[in-house]
Structure 1
Amino acid sequence: MTRVLVRNKRGRGYLVGPGRSPVGRLIRYAVLAGVVLIMLPLVLLSLYRIPFVHPVSTLMVKDLVTFSGYDRRWVPIEQISPVLINSVMMSEDARFCFHSGVDWDALNSVVSDAIDGEQTRGASTITMQTAKNLFLWTSRSFIRKGLEVPLAMLTDLILPKQRIMEIYLNIAEWGPGIYGVEAAAQHHFNTSAAKLSPRQAAYLAVTLPNPIVRNPAKPGRGMQTLARLNERRARGAGAYIGCVK
């Protein structure tokens, strides 16, 4: 075992093992922190398999810590209108049932566009967004995106598709302090998630990319166009939504 010579204030030196030296302690703490960061999502995702466990997002935790407060009313997926599920899937991730957490074709296209200096489009799957909402921060960066990928794959490995969708719809942000589809339906349309109409579901779905700016209860002309398109796609979803039925 390598020892390090350390001198005290009087100039006297003594040998210490790497675990007791400042550098050794720093390395040990860094390794310990890395193990915790790796194990925490694994433990939490295993816990989130349990139906009566209702996860919260990092944004919800921030609102609690800053005393901002929020509105979230958990509902099981069986009490969410199927048309809302269809609409969200067609808007956010039409290949949700067919990938393992990451849509590699879409992600590769985004990377290629970024390398070529072209404007990039979103490639986050519903699973990636769920992992981000559960474990990461919201500001965009390549570091966050890099962490999303393994977390999404781990999420898809541990949680069934239906449970991923249920968690996503209950932690997604639909306006300042409005989390989850039940709170969103009540706040914007004065109805329950189970009774959303196809058009209301479409408005909520196209709100998700920018819930701070877009208001499903007061859609502009562009948002109305997106909602009509989404409604048609949701109506013909067919096999695309088979994994959450």
Structure 2
Amino acid sequence: MIRAARILFKATLWFVVLSVLWVGLYALVPPPFTLTMAGDLFQGRSITKDWTPLADIDPDMPRAAIAGEDARFCLHHGFDWRAIAGAAARNAQGRRIRGGSTISQQTAKNAFLWQGGGYLRKALEAWFTTLIELIWGKRRIMEVYLNLAETGIGTYGVEAGSIRYFDHSAARLTPTEAGRIAAVLPLPKKRAAIDPRGFVRRHGNAIAARVGVVRRQGLDACLK
């Protein structure tokens, strides 16, 4: 028992040290690859990505992400307990399954982990979310999120998504274009931002309308 406890302690210590170093490295350099990208390659898909600093992305894109994914992004410390409780209540009522993940949690998952559920992945996601909040800060979290988020099949990041859908750089997105990209983010393999129909069009337009609200109310203040 003592031997097993020592092995477990050492393994845990190594994990903590290596994960902190990993997160620290990604605070300085762009994550070169993710497990989600590996999954696309395994299925024979090509990968399109183009890392773009947040300063070179139109401000309406992070505003659209905040409006569509995480309105309290600048207010919480990685976990929006109000949204989590609301999602749990909604799901318990048998309504459409809905998560309560923040942009920080999604970034931790995209950068360090794999897609899908399970208690192990959720626990690791919570750990990495805490680390990136402490080490990166909000601006870096948003920068990594907008560069790693899948914006279409085999397309990663808003720069590649903007070129794919609108034939121009993410540096000059309109609120409508930013809203459409944000509407694609939850289900990028099933939605497209170009000529959207049904839910994607309605949701994209709703996000575009809230971009101005995010700007006026300073909900993106932590990015400045």
> TM-score by structure 1 length?
0.81
**Which is helix-richer, 1 or 2?**
2
Gaps of 5+ in 2: none
| Correspondent of 1:39 among 17, 26, 34 | 17
- Are residues 1:92 and 2:69 paired? yes
Letter in 2 for 1:122: G
* Residue of structure 1 equivalent to 2:98: 121
Letter in 2 for 1:45: V
Shift of 1:57: 2.5
For residues 7 and 113 of structure 2, the distance between their equivalents in structure 1, rounded to whole angstroms, comes to 21
| Correspondent of 1:223 among 192, 200, 205 | 200
For residues 198 and 217 of structure 1, the distance between their equivalents in structure 2, rounded to whole angstroms, comes to 14
Answer whether contact 1:186 1:192 (CA < 8 A) is retained: yes
* Residue of structure 2 equivalent to 1:82: 59
* Residue of structure 1 equivalent to 2:170: 193
For residues 155 and 92 of structure 1, the distance between their equivalents in structure 2, rounded to whole angstroms, comes to 18
* Residue of structure 1 equivalent to 2:181: 204
Identity level (%): 35
For residues 66 and 223 of structure 1, the distance between their equivalents in structure 2, rounded to whole angstroms, comes to 26
Answer whether contact 1:41 1:135 (CA < 8 A) is retained: no
Count residues with an aligned counterpart: 220
For residues 213 and 89 of structure 2, the distance between their equivalents in structure 1, rounded to whole angstroms, comes to 31
* Residue of structure 2 equivalent to 1:242: 221
Shifted more, 126-135 versus 214-223: the winner is: 214-223
Shift of 1:64: 5.0
Letter in 2 for 1:47: L
Which structure is larger by alpha-carbon Rg, 1 or 2?
A: 1
Letter in 1 for 2:70: D
| Correspondent of 1:59 among 27, 36, 42 | 36
Shift of 1:221: 2.5
Secondary structure of 1:91's partner?
helix
Shift of 1:89: 1.0
Shifted more, 96-105 versus 60-69: the winner is: 60-69
* Residue of structure 2 equivalent to 1:145: 122
Shift of 1:188: 1.3
| Correspondent of 1:181 among 158, 162, 173 | 158
Shift of 1:151: 2.0
For residues 174 and 192 of structure 1, the distance between their equivalents in structure 2, rounded to whole angstroms, comes to 14
Shift of 1:68: 3.8
Secondary structure of 1:174's partner?
strand
Answer whether contact 1:174 1:204 (CA < 8 A) is retained: yes
> TM-score by structure 2 length?
0.88
Shifted more, 144-153 versus 94-103: the winner is: 144-153
Gaps of 5+ in 1: 3-17
